[in-house]
Every structure is written in structure tokens, then in C-alpha cells.
Amino acid sequence: MSETALVKKIACIGAGYVGGPTMAMIALNCPEIEVVVVDINEERIKAWNSDKLPIYEPGLDEVVKAARGRNLFFSTDTKKHVGEADVVFVSVNTPTKTTGIGAGRAADLTYWEGAARLIASVSTGSKIVVEKSTVPVKTAEAIGKVLKRNCSSPGVTFEILSNPEFLAEGTAIEDLRKPDRVLIGGAETESGRKAMAALKWVYEHWIPSERVLLANLWSAELAKLTANAFLAQRISSINAISALCEASGADVQQVAHAIGTDSRIGPKFLNASVGFGGSCFQKDILNLCYVCETLNLKEVADYWAAVVTMNDYQKQRFVERVLGAMFNTVANKKIAVMGFAFKKDTGDTRETPAIDVCKGLIRDGAKVSIFDPQVTSDQVFRDLSTSKFEWDRPDYSRSHTRILDNVKVCSSPTEAMEGSHAICVLTEWDEFKTYDYQAVYDKMCKPAFVFDGRNILDHDKLREIGFIVYALGKPLDPFLQKNYS
């Protein structure tokens, strides 16, 4: 057996959206390696060991069930499994700081530091520690100091690698099965190169060698932040143009198609929407801005901060469109919010645009009825009750039943839309396209409005039925122009 084949046990600290699926895929393809996902959240671990997994991803069930009990395990016994592992992935939250220096921009590395202290305290042999969470540049340097100073066993060494994830929710399993690339960053030393080779060997079980890229630590850490910043920038760019399209009579989908056929630009991430969401984009850009500010690169920080500013503007603009169309008042009007997840094919609501849109409507007195096929009522109420940037801080004692007076979470689309004054489409679920909108229209208050924040519905057909339609980034309905002349 080659030296790189001596990875016998992998532990992953953190059983969330990244840790769970990634370890399941490694276990499936590396039957000779024992893979254990550990987390202090007992409920989450119980869910991973049950028939109903704690996260929804197409294809995830099959992967987990194929490997679970064979060489894939989920446990709350963090010390035992981290202590026994050759390689420890750290996939914990790196939320945005809410207080102190850098509040609202800097990454809070409390959980990462806690994980490092745990690893150091239980290590009796040398280990490879892999950054899987998205972290600021130079985090590995700080983590190395924590590991070294907190390990009492003589002769134990730690090699820190950066192995950022590039998963898209909704397609995470396919992204793990056939990734564009796997990036591994390590120290440019003999031991660093050995550690990178060991992790590369793991991935080469199912990924072609040429797709596993090696880099230095700082490049790998920065590549993740940069990738998310570029993707978010494209969304904000087309959303900025969507506002111009509405003001000028252009059609943002036609503009996006025209520029997307340019091979230098390409068609991806050019769908105008009510805004981007998810756990990474805003957080990573704000962190990138903070890193730039600390390095006295103010102009660079300002450039990237504008991407987040445009995203906030798009959400506010959508709310103002709703208010303006509905005679500048939504007080006591029932508004059906279709979709709460930040994108289709996931139940993830972190930083979903629906939170800010719903809060904006609620502030103006609307009675919001929410339907999403994958988001629970507990999650909706938790999100609408939580302060900005607090969603990423697990508080297992927090009550999940706090009810907001003007919010109702519905178990069916009919319940959400019946008797409403308006429908707001905030997630691009495919099933929203297939509803009988004539039947919906017949049971709505008139005039009946549709505000399509994802441009997924048949707007001409809706207008034939009698709806007043606002399609984001498209020429305004004459009814709506009266309010914006």
C-alpha cells in the first residue's frame, strides 16, 4: 500500500449542508475508509440516522442509505471519533460578526476555534486538518497556532489543508459526483505536499486526477470567496439591468439571452430575480470586503460591497412595486407568498430574499400567507423572528413556535392563494407553473395581482384570465404604469 493510501478514518466536525453530503459521497466511493460525521446537535444526528434526513437534496437519500452503517456513521461522540481519525474535516458555521470590531462584515471564527481546540485536545497522533467551511484568508495560520498550543501529546504534528466546497444547493449530489474541480491548498513544504497527496488520493477514487487542483493555502482560501463574489456579482448585475428594463420598456430576459450568447460572458447566473440568497453569497462578500479594508484596500472593498447593496435594493424595489400597484396600501390585505426557500429543490432558507420581502409587507400591515413545498412552518417563523446575521448561530433552546400575528404558513397552495389580493412568486419551484390559475383567480379579491419575482409563469395567459401582472424586469403592465408615470 502506498503511503497516501494510509487514510483509514475520516471524521467531519459539523453535520450540516456541506459536511453531511460531502462525507456521504466520500464514504460511498471509498468503502475502505471509515467516515464519521460528528455534531453536538443530538436532534440533527438522530435525523441523519433516520429515514427523514435533516436536509433536502435530490439524490442525497440514496447516497446516504447506500453507505450508512457500512462505512458511513453519524455520531455525537465527537472526542472519540476525532481522536481516532487520520483526517479531520471541519465544516462548522463561520457566521458574520454581529457585535464588536468588524460587526456586519467580518467572519466570526468562534466555532472554528472551538473545533481546533477539540482536535488538539484529543490528538495522540499526527493529523491532517481540512478547512471545509468558507473562511477568511490566513485562517489556516491562526488555526495552526491554536492546534500547536493546545496539544499536550509530544511529537504530534498537524498539517492544515484548505479544501473549499463549490456546491450549489439543489444540485449538490451531482456537484459532488462530477465536480468542475476539487481544490486542495496546503503548505509548500514536504509534509504539506504529502498531506495534499493523501487528500487527493481520497478524491481520485471517483474524480479524474486532472480535476483535482493543488494550490498554496492562501490561494485556496481566497478562491472560494472570489468564486462566490463573482457569481453574486453576475446576479446583481442583471438585477440592476432589470430595473433599467422596467423603466425603459426593455425585456430583461431578452437582454440576458442576447448577452449570454457571447462566449466571453456565457448564459449562467443571468436570470433576473427578486435577489440572491443562500448561506454564502452575502456572507462571503462582506467578509471579502472586511479583509480588503483591513489591508487598506478601500476601493476594492467598496467595489464588492456594491454587489450586496444592489441585492438589498432589488428586494426593496420588489416590495415597493407591490405597494405601488396595490394603491399604496396593503394593510389587512391577504398576500400569498409562493416559495420561501432561496431557490428551488432545497429547503434552505438562509438569507432567502423571501425574509426581507415578507418583513417589508408585514411592516405595511399585510396579512402574509406563505406556502413552500419544502420549508416547515417552524423554519418560517424562526427566520421571520430572527435578527439579521443571527440565523447562522445555532440556538437549540430557542422557541420555534413564536407566531407572528400577520403571518400564516399554509400546508397547500390553495390555502395560501384563496381569498388573497395578490400572489408573490419568490422561489422558482416548478410546481408553481402548473397550477390552475383560472380557478385561483375565481377565488381571489379583485383586482387580482401576480408579482412574479422569478419570471417563471406564463404572463400572457395570466393576463388573459384577468390578472394584473408584474413580471420582474419586463415592460410594465399599463395598469401598473399609472402609478409610475
Assess whether pLDDT exceeds 60 at residue 198. yes
Least reliable range by pLDDT among 122-126, 198-202, 209-213: 122-126
Give pLDDT, residue 136.
65
Give pLDDT, residue 140.
77
Residues 6+ apart with CB under 8 A from 374: 56, 341, 346, 347
Q: What domains, with CATH codes, occur in the chain?
A: 9-207 (3.40.50.720), 228-480 (3.40.50.720)
Mean pLDDT in the chain? 91
Retrieve residue 359's grid coordinates.
Answer: 418583513
What is the C-alpha separation between 225 and 169, in angstroms, rounded?
17
Residues 6+ apart with CB under 8 A from 78: 13, 38, 39, 40, 118
- Sequence ranges of the binding site: 14-19, 39, 44, 92-96, 133-134, 169, 280-283, 350
Average pLDDT of the residues in 344-353: 92
Query: Residue 4: which pLDDT band, with cuts at 50, 70 and 90?
Result: very low
Give pLDDT, residue 5.
56
Give pLDDT, residue 103.
80
Closest CA to 324 of 475, 474, 446, 468: 468
Q: Which residues are catalytic?
A: 280
Least reliable range by pLDDT among 302-311, 326-335, 367-376, 474-483: 474-483
- Sequence ranges of the binding site for NAD(+): 14-19, 39, 44, 92-96, 133-134, 169, 280-283, 350
Element (H, E) at 311: helix 298-325
Give pLDDT, residue 36.
98
Other CB atoms closer than 10 Å to residue 2's CB: what's the count?
8
Give pLDDT, residue 100.
85
What is the C-alpha separation between 177 and 471, in angstroms, rounded?
36
Query: Residue 360: which pLDDT band, with cuts at 50, 70 and 90?
Result: very high
Query: Residue 93: which pLDDT band, with cuts at 50, 70 and 90?
Result: confident
Convert the pLDDT of each residue in 291-334 to its tens digit.
Answer: 899 999 999 999 999 999 999 999 999 999 999 999 999 999 99
What is the C-alpha separation between 285 and 53, in angstroms, rounded?
30
Q: What are the Cα distances from residue 407, in Å, to 304, 323, 342, 418, 483?
A: 34, 18, 18, 15, 27
Assess whether pLDDT exceeds 90 at residue 94. no
Element (H, E) at 65: helix 60-67
What is the C-alpha separation between 237 and 151, in angstroms, rounded?
48
Give pLDDT, residue 149.
86
Give pLDDT, residue 152.
81
Helix, strand or coil for residue 7? coil
Share of the chain above pLDDT 70, in %: 94
The residue with cell 453574486 is: 232
CA angle in degrees (0–180, nearest 5) for 74-51-393: 55
Convert the pLDDT of each residue in 377-423 to its tens digit.
Answer: 999 999 998 876 554 554 434 444 344 789 999 999 999 999 999 99
Burial group, residue 101, by CB count within 10 angstroms (0-12, 13-18, 19+): exposed
Q: Could you give the residue ranges of the DSSP H alpha helices within 204-275?
A: 217-248, 252-260
Where are any strands of DSSP class E within 133-271?
158-162, 182-186, 212-216
Convert the pLDDT of each residue in 130-143 to its tens digit.
Answer: 998 766 667 778 88
Assess whether pLDDT exceeds 90 at residue 474. yes
Its sign, for the CA torsion 352, 357, 362, 368, is negative
**Cβ(180)–Cβ(155) below 8 Å:** no
Closest CA to 97 of 349, 306, 388: 388
Its sign, for the CA torsion 475, 478, 483, 485, is positive
Assess whether pLDDT exceeds 80 at residue 11. yes
Average pLDDT of the residues in 253-280: 95
Residue of 142 and 175 predicted with greater confidence: 175
Its sign, for the CA torsion 329, 331, 333, 337, is positive
Give pLDDT, residue 463.
97
